[in-house]
A and B are shown apart, each in its own frame.
Chain A
Amino acid sequence: MDNAIYATLTRQAGLRREMQVIANNIANASTDGFQKEGLVFSEYVQRMDDSDLSLSMAHAEGRMIDRAQGQLTRTNGTFDLAIEGDGYFMVEAPNGPELTRAGHFTPNADGELIASDGARLLDIGGAPVFVPPDAMSVGVAADGTLSADGRAITQIGIYMPGDVNEMRRSAGVRFSVDGVVQPLEGARVVQGFIESSNVDPVTEVARMIEVQRAYEQSAKFISNEHDRILSAIDILGR
């Protein structure tokens, strides 16, 4: 095969990946706290032997997390929390602390606030958030201070990674961070609201059509290239 086909094949492989990213975004269009994913293509340049020519290929090398604010939906739940602006809640996942914006928590039998899979929500000091089981009214202030029956008990931590590029996704709308995570000053928590997914279906469908057509064009190109080589062999072989 010649280089034109190789370059086009790398393009197709990248487009299939991008399609998978779009499919995952659309599948999570109703997932609370989900932040949509993008893919970054880079050029992969290879020098051809003993000449100044080079061959350029496309390679899906990086990804980005779109941290735009999702819509806040009122639920009136005491332990439904949404973050306005930047920042993440920290929960204690099996493999260490993880960040999330999915703010639907419930107290367990011990009075600790947990996410739907049992991971405990952590406060500003990294300890589990505890709500007294006999508390009649629980309020959460904008700075994350949690009070039961009017007495401040603890402050729910809102964190931000030092470098957002170090965030890795894990199941359950969460991110694990390899580097430093610091508490975020001036974060705003809203009680009784849940942040919806920030996936915009219109944009995703537009991207999807684009990807699909680009993929079909690449396939057409490979087909034409194939015919071109065939006819070249045909003519030269006469």
Chain B
Amino acid sequence: MRALKIAATGMTAQQTRVEVISNNLANMSTTAYNARRAEFSDLHYQQLAKPGTINASDGTVLPTGVQLGLGVRPTSVSVQLSQGSLTQTNSDLDVAIEGRGYLEITMPDGPASYTRDGSLKRNGEGLIVTADGFAVAPEIVIPEDASSISINADGEVYAYFNDRVEPEVLGQFTLAAFTNERGLEAIGSNLFRETEASGPAVIGDPGTDGLGRLKQGYLEDSSVDAVREVTELIEAQRGYELNAKVITAADQMMAATSQVR
């Protein structure tokens, strides 16, 4: 009874799907998190009779032949790219990216990483860093005596002082874009690395070359749609049960055979 083993591959695949869904739901409140989706593909097919085989009994040619499939396997877990909604935080150093692009982050070890999580902080040296303390590239230093910081849509950063009217230009945020954002490798903590599949980072100023713009005082929510995830969860659970039902049916068929005598 191959049906038993085939249904088992189906159950494994649906289980993977449930794991991906549970990770999405766990990250419902993670800043700038993008939902992921499990994808499947069918397995090898057994050729029982090739199309074009001559039928032994009467010499006719079989038009289609018989091929039996052997089940399913998970092939990839891909990122669903969509903009999450923006939530106002009123913090000077929170920037949301509206549209395409990632902030470039300098890692203490190894190559740069990229993030859409714009909940930035100021460290002891005055440097603008991520919540984990990694510096944002290009580096921007906030003077000790600055009273407030303003970041405009094009990424220009200004500092205001209590004893002066004119603001001081501190620097310029840039954004990185990739041909294939889905090819980025997630390394945790909302950070991504470029890979062969993503292509190299193309750096530009916000608002140019199809890059998004910055919005100070806002953060991007996760793009997880709870309703959609729950519908997927129901589908996955029912899929799992259906495959279990096939196992039961195949088992009963085997029982019928063994009870002949």
Contacts and interface: CB of A to CB of B under 8 A. Distances in A.
A27 B236 contact: no
Contacts of A172: 41-42, 75
B65 A168 contact: yes
Interface of B is mostly: mixed
A107 B41 contact: no
B256 interface: yes
Contacts of B200: 133
Contact of A62 (B2, B63, B197): B63
Nearest to A220: B256
Contacts of A107: 179-180, 183, 197, 199
Most chain B CB within a 10 A radius of its CB, from A31, A132, A215:
A31
B2, B65, B253, B259, most chain A CB atoms within 10 A: B253
A22 B246 CA distance: 8
Interface residues of B, number: 74
B209 interface: yes
A24 B68 contact: yes
Contacts of B213: none
Contacts of B48: 17
A169 B62 CA distance: 16
Interface in B226-259: 235-236, 238-239, 242-243, 245-246, 249-250, 252-253, 256-257, 259
Contacts of B3: 16, 19-20, 22-23
Interface of B: 1-4, 6-7, 9-10, 13-14, 17, 37, 39-45, 47-49, 51-52, 55, 57, 62-72, 75-76, 78, 80-82, 100, 177, 179-180, 182-183, 196-197, 199-200, 202, 209-211, 235-236, 238-239, 242-243, 245-246, 249-250, 252-253, 256-257, 259-261
